[in-house]
Amino acid sequence: MVATYHSPFSQRYGSDAMRAIWSERYKRLCWRRVWVALAEAQCELGIVSPAQVDDLRAHMDEVNEASIARALEIEREIQHDLMAELRTYAEQCLVGGGIIHLGATSADIEDNADALRLREALALVRGALARLIRALAEQVLHYADLPAMGFTHLQPAEPTTVGYRLAQYLQELLMDLDEVERVHGAIRGKGFKGAVGTSAAYLELGVAELEQRALAKLGLAAFPVTTQTYPRKQEWHVLNALAGIAQSLYKFAFDLRILQSPPLGEWGEPFGAQQVGSSAMPFKRNPIQAEKINALARFIAALPRVAWDNAAHSLLERTLDDSANRRVVLPEAFLAADELLHVALRIVQGLRVNEFQVARQMQAYAPFAATERLLMALAKAGADRQAMHERIRQHALAAWAEVNMGRPNPLPDLLCADPEITRRVPADQVRALLAADAYVGDAPARARALAQAALARIALIL
């Protein structure tokens, strides 16, 4: 098997649980489940016999390497995968084989099976997303009060806290959870409506209530009107939800890569004792997990466009130009999202925050931001606001020159040595106003409130 191509999603990316949902075996099991539900409903309505349905039910789970090989052999001859599985199933069911697929068209089976798989895959995503949110909320609480330098335009701005910065990612993931739950709850199957969605073949059997009976056995709701397929817009909604998660994690991973860069060195992803950072440079500690998130997130971001085209180009009652790409897009979108969530969970749980480096950045840059507080205090003390602004600006420019040379920030000393400033605000008060941890606003409280709300919500899921 190593001499032929295998997708990275076959082993490298995604969990075994997600792979199982999109496996060839499970797809065929879902097809058989739909066929049995249809036959059971037909039996209740007197169309087929109990013995025939019992036979189908007895062989429903007999999907293995041998049966798949047989189906593929038939498919090579007839060029129709569902019919090949149908014939394979019928060969196993000597009593009931003749009534499989009665009244149905291929999409009645495939689309209902796909709806079942979409629903199960979204449930896995929801669980993984909830675990990530819980881990992130715990880190937000842990670092809610730790002051850190905030950056806008990738330039030092004003202080924030590590927990408040983490809370930004948490908030976006909670928005993603809202969308995943909405889409999961809205998943619908095609139902049993035949070749163009009119139910004509089923009505020929004289049973208008067949669809609802079969759907109830599958635990699946259906779109009220369809063509030959369910609306492909549904899959666009699903892929947009996955792309939303990818977007949130892309930002987190990219920020982590910036903060892990040695000139900042504030954060770092976990790095194993035996981990090799580079084949050429033994000292390297590359952020490979964050980079993997960014790589796979870009891939996911491109997939909603494919689903958009599938929906927009499903002409009249149906065209088949979506079929081949759906075999790739749906499984790989879910497996890529699954990998993102599991990698992000490992990063968040093992996130390294270098408090020395965080404090170093604060010492270098935070006094500049805190001058706003000093300016307000001077104005309250009766000083000319414009004159004080100019004095502070001049001291700040001198301090910037020192910081850019790699020296300690002299701004507090310069301001405390200015008699025009200390005449209005005593030197000890100037230093207090420039204290970094006193200029983070209500960031700690907001971070804690969001984290606590997130944990309360996740407790209802996990």
pLDDT score of 157: 85
| 388 & 244 share domain | no
pLDDT confidence band for 116 (50 / 70 / 90): very high
| 306 & 428 share domain | no
pLDDT score of 329: 97
| Number of domains observed in the structure of the chain | 2
Tell whether the model's pLDDT for residue 146 goes beyond 90: yes
Tell whether the model's pLDDT for residue 277 goes beyond 70: no
Q: What is the mean pLDDT of residues 328-338?
A: 98
pLDDT confidence band for 278 (50 / 70 / 90): low
Alpha-carbon Rg for the chain in angstroms: 31
Average pLDDT score, the chain: 93
The answer as to whether 231 is a domain residue is: yes
pLDDT in tens, 150-199: 999 988 888 999 999 999 999 999 999 999 999 999 999 999 999 999 99
Specify the pairing of strand 267-268 against strand 352-353.
antiparallel
Using the 8-state DSSP alphabet, how is residue 222 labeled?
A: B
The DSSP code sequence of 22-57 is: TSHHHHHHHHHHHHHHHHHHHHHTTSS-HHHHHHHH
The answer as to whether 366 is a domain residue is: no
Q: Which of the residues 7, 261, 278, 323 is marked catalytic?
A: 278
Q: What is the mean pLDDT of residues 398-406?
A: 89
Residue 49 is a catalytic residue: no
Helix (H) or strand (E) holding 267: strand 267-268
Q: What is the mean pLDDT of residues 95-107?
A: 96
Q: What is the mean pLDDT of residues 212-240?
A: 96
CATH code of 319's domain: 1.20.200.10
The answer as to whether 400 is a domain residue is: yes
| 66 & 144 share domain | yes
CATH code of 428's domain: 1.10.40
The answer as to whether 201 is a domain residue is: yes
Among 309, 298, 308, smallest CA distance to 247 is for 298
Residue where one domain finishes, among candidates 300, 324, 355:
355
Among 43, 37, 79, 84, smallest CA distance to 60 is for 37
The answer as to whether 83 is a domain residue is: yes
| 317 & 396 share domain | no
| 103 & 31 share domain | yes
Which residues are 430's β-sheet partners?
none
pLDDT score of 143: 98
| 380 & 350 share domain | no
Q: Which pair of tokens denotes residue 141?
A: 């609480």
pLDDT score of 438: 67
Domain that holds residue 428: 371-434
Conformational region of residue 156, where left means phi above 0, alpha means psi within -120 to 50, and beta covers everything else: beta
Q: What is the mean pLDDT of residues 393-402?
A: 92
pLDDT score of 276: 56
Lowest mean pLDDT among 118-122, 133-137, 318-322: 318-322
pLDDT score of 275: 66
pLDDT in tens, 312-322: 999 999 999 99
Lowest mean pLDDT among 34-38, 108-112, 366-370: 366-370
What is the C-alpha separation between 415 and 394, in angstroms, rounded?
A: 10
Residue where one domain finishes, among candidates 331, 355, 379:
355
Type of residue found at 286:
N
| 350 & 389 share domain | no
- pLDDT exceeding 90 applies to what percent of the chain? 83
pLDDT score of 366: 83
pLDDT score of 372: 84
- pLDDT exceeding 70 applies to what percent of the chain? 96
Tell whether the model's pLDDT for residue 263 goes beyond 60: yes
Q: What is the mean pLDDT of residues 219-229?
A: 95
Residue where one domain finishes, among candidates 301, 322, 355:
355
| 220 & 296 share domain | yes
CB 110 within 8 A of CB 82: yes
pLDDT confidence band for 435 (50 / 70 / 90): confident
| 177 & 64 share domain | yes
Q: Which of the residues 153, 237, 313, 389 is marked catalytic?
A: 153
Lowest mean pLDDT among 3-12, 182-191, 287-296: 3-12
pLDDT score of 344: 98
The answer as to whether 458 is a domain residue is: no
| 132 & 210 share domain | yes
The pair phi, psi for residue 222, each rounded to 5°, is -130, 155
pLDDT score of 121: 98
Residue 59 is a catalytic residue: no
Q: Which pair of tokens denotes residue 107?
A: 């999409």
| 157 & 234 share domain | yes
| 139 & 224 share domain | yes
The answer as to whether 304 is a domain residue is: yes
Tell whether the model's pLDDT for residue 279 goes beyond 60: no
Specify the pairing of strand 147-152 against strand 155-161.
antiparallel
The answer as to whether 85 is a domain residue is: yes
Q: What is the mean pLDDT of residues 373-393?
A: 93
What is the C-alpha separation between 158 and 152, in angstroms, rounded?
A: 9
Tell whether the model's pLDDT for residue 375 goes beyond 70: yes
Lowest mean pLDDT among 88-97, 222-231, 283-292: 283-292
Query: Which residues, including other chains, have CB under 8 Å from residue 214's CB and lie 6 or more apart?
Result: 37, 38, 40, 41, 192
Tell whether the model's pLDDT for residue 96 goes beyond 80: yes
